[in-house]
Amino acid sequence: MRKVVFGINASADGFYGHTGMVVDDVLHQYFTDLLRTTDQILYGRITYELMVPFWPDVAKNKSMSKVSNEFAEVFTGLEKILFSHSITKVEDPNTTIAKLPLFETVSKLTKQVGKDICIGSLSVAAQLSEVGLIDEYHFVVHPVIVGSGPKLFDNLPLKQSLFLDLIDTQTLPAGQIALHYQTRR
């Protein structure tokens, strides 16, 4: 069965996203390598609109560093499934709008043949964490205190703790620490 994987940047004070983080080629390579293990990425509207059309435009124009362009190409090639009540049409040819509810969609996807399934937004990750449908978490903790921003369970608090087992850690040159966890079953 395919795994459901969530990878995201976090500040040292526990905020998630990319604002104020240490973004460099090594970080882009880390996430490029993670995306290569997947063939689908699930998004909510907010994060989707941050990523598309930005990264497909980078892939088309090769407008960033070699590593960032590579990330853009890998990202653009993934099938993106969008969960949104307000978006009814997308222009990206690799994006489909989910027709089934999130949990039903993920349950069906995990039974299909393919690479892992990546979660690309906090809202989707929070919902799937609540029902135990995420198999692995990749948190890249940055050596920065940002003071504000989104948190993983801002809009959907967990009803009970979710225990994780550490699989691997990596210290990146700019001081980020990549933590790779597996959900304890």
The answer to whether residues 152 and 134 touch, using CB atoms and an 8 Å cutoff, is: no
pLDDT, the chain, mean: 95
Which residue from 169, 77, 183, 80 is spatially nearest to 136, judged by alpha carbons?
183
Q: Which tens digit of pLDDT belongs to each residue from 106-149?
A: 999 999 999 999 999 999 999 999 999 999 999 999 999 999 99
Phi, psi values for residue 159, rounded to 5°:
-80, -25
Q: Which tens digit of pLDDT belongs to each residue from 25-70?
A: 999 999 999 999 999 999 999 999 999 999 999 999 999 999 999 9
Tally of helices (H runs) and strands (E runs) in the chain: 6, 8
Which residue from 41, 112, 50 is spatially nearest to 83, judged by alpha carbons?
41
pLDDT at 18: 83
User: And the tokens for 122?
Assistant: 């906090």
Helical (H) or strand (E) element with 169: strand 164-171
